[in-house]
Structure 1
Amino acid sequence: MTQVSPKGSYHLQTVSRALDALRLLEESGAPLSQTEIAEALGEPVPVVFRILHTLEGHGVVKRGRDKRYVPRGRVEADGLGRPLDILRVLSAAGSAGARSEEIAARLGLETRLVGEALVVLASRQLAAVSEGGTWTLGFGLIELARPLLRGTLRSAVRPLMERLRDESGETATLFVTSGDRQVVLDIAASRQPLRYELEIGAVFVLHRGAAGKAALSAMEDADVKRILEGSDLKNAERRRVLADVMDARRRGFATSLGERLPGGAAVAAPVRDESGRAVGVLGLMLPAFRNEPDRLPHLGKVLAGHLAQLVLPDTLAPANS
């Protein structure tokens, strides 16, 4: 039997923790700091520093200007992912935009690589640069998104949205689920001077707001559990949200007060196709001061009743595709 010396055992443990650190970086969707890695691994910062220094020296990981680490493979081999990550950073920056070095620091990439990707994006009108060197999203993205904006789900639900808006006097909003998030696909804005209105394309987590809980209520229990356990909710909050989801499943609609926007109130219900599959969520949103006693439950019953009569073909893409 081969004997492993204490020194050899220490080296094996170090290699094991180095692999754990590398796996953590590979599975992370964003660059991680030395402190974040140490906390995740349950190791002292000096130990993690030595591990990362060794991995960096062997070219396995790379440290960005913000002192956050990414796997070298992500930096050099992610030819498709890099431009998409850049577009996400520009989307988050909004109209203010971001300079190439800022994007590079955020993603843990070399400024040269970011610059090359931005030039390609600009040549296809997916990104634009000002005279001062600030980058923003390009109008070519609207062309790419045109099928979504003209899609059958949006066009099929639009008449009902306008009817609900006119009957209730409040804003009707159509959501679709993308992964573990929810995206605003369309709105029929209230005609009242004071209204609760989201932007088309706005993205939200599923564990907050009536629309998010309505989406969860239409999912399988295993998916609901996975999403809630992956959220930033404490155990008590998670149990409360789960109870709200179960209540929404029983009633056919969910309600919320000030969860996504202080001073806002909302009611929402799943949109289903002919087969009963959820393909979206439709909600009514209003300022909280117009939420008279029992108004949300009343609007919820009206909303669920209209959606029960809505006939959608089962060829529509599912909401969480």
Structure 2
Amino acid sequence: MSSLQTLSRGLTALELVAQKENGLAIAELAEAMDVHRAIVYRLVSTLEGHGLVTRSRDGRICLGGGVVALASRVEPQLRAMARPLLQELAERTRATAFLCVGHGDECVAVEVAEPETLLLRVSYRVGSRHPLERGAAGIAIAALRPERSEDSDALRQARRDGYSVTRGQLQAGAVGVAAPLVYPVDSHFRFEGCVGVVALQDLDVEAATAATVDCARRLVKRMD
């Protein structure tokens, strides 16, 4: 039990440091965690030994390069898990399927699959990005975030429905459907993301919505 508590405290410390652009002093971290400074010293030393945090000249604790290295390995694993499901979604809907993640106020496509038999496709490339308030993917990801008074009607609707449908917001004549990745409360792996499809106006929206929601559910289960 003590080992699990230590691990939990270490992860909590890492999360707290990540929330502060200029890092935290030992005293500030101890106060935020409500533990003795000696405990924080040991936690920080351990995290520092793994390169997950570093100490600035004035002694403040900041994220270390080890965090960047870990993050760089997540995307390839995520894409590998999502690829077969996206290809299946693309074939089922005869539309371009995608996996997008939230990056600040933008939505970024990290994996795309296209149906093999479709001649005319909507262009959607890996690395494409657009504001969260536009497009089915952006709205689906924004729906995962806390409610705000300035939220659009489309965003409020997406939260109620569990998916987003948009028409012509990013490309004239294109219809987009996206479902957010919603994780169980006790899930150990989670990130802001969605899966979806985009096609021209002949997309069967009802069928595409059902297939997209199912794909999102299966991807979350695969990652858990």
Please give the TM-score of this superposition, normalised by the length of structure 2: 0.60
Q: Distance in 1 between matches of 2:206 and 2:191?
A: 21
CA deviation digits over 1:98-152, x for unaligned, max 9?
A: xxxxxxxxxxxxxxxxxxxxxxxxxxxxxxxxxxxxxxxxxxxxxxx974652x2
Contact 2:144–2:180 under 8 Å retained in 1: yes
Contact 1:180–1:206 under 8 Å retained in 2: yes
Instruction: Trace 1:70-81 onto structure 2 (pairs within 5 A).
Output: none
Identify which of structures 1 and 2 has the higher relative contact order when contacts are C-alpha pairs closer than 8 Å and 6+ apart.
Answer: 2
Instruction: Trace 1:1-321 onto structure 2 (pairs within 5 A).
Output: 147=73, 150=76, 152-191=77-116, 192-222=118-148, 225=149, 242-275=152-185, 277-288=190-201, 290-291=202-203, 295-310=204-219, 311-313=221-223
Q: Distance in 1 between matches of 2:137 and 2:73?
A: 23
Superposition RMSD in Å: 2.3
Amino acid at match of 2:115: S
Contact 1:272–1:278 under 8 Å retained in 2: no
> Cα 1:296–1:160, aligned 2, differ >3 Å: closer, same or farther?
same
Superposition misfits of 4+ residues, deviation over 6 angstroms: none
CA deviation digits over 1:192-225, x for unaligned, max 9?
A: 1101121211110011111111111111114xx5
Gaps of 5+ in 2: 1-70
Partner-residue secondary structure (3-state), 1:185: strand
Partner-residue secondary structure (3-state), 2:194: strand
Contact 1:270–1:278 under 8 Å retained in 2: no
Contact 2:99–2:194 under 8 Å retained in 1: yes
Q: Distance in 1 between matches of 2:135 and 2:198?
A: 10
Q: Percent identity?
A: 27
Gaps of 5+ in 1: 1-144, 229-237, 315-321
Q: Distance in 2 between matches of 1:212 and 1:204?
A: 7
Q: Distance in 1 between matches of 2:72 and 2:104?
A: 21
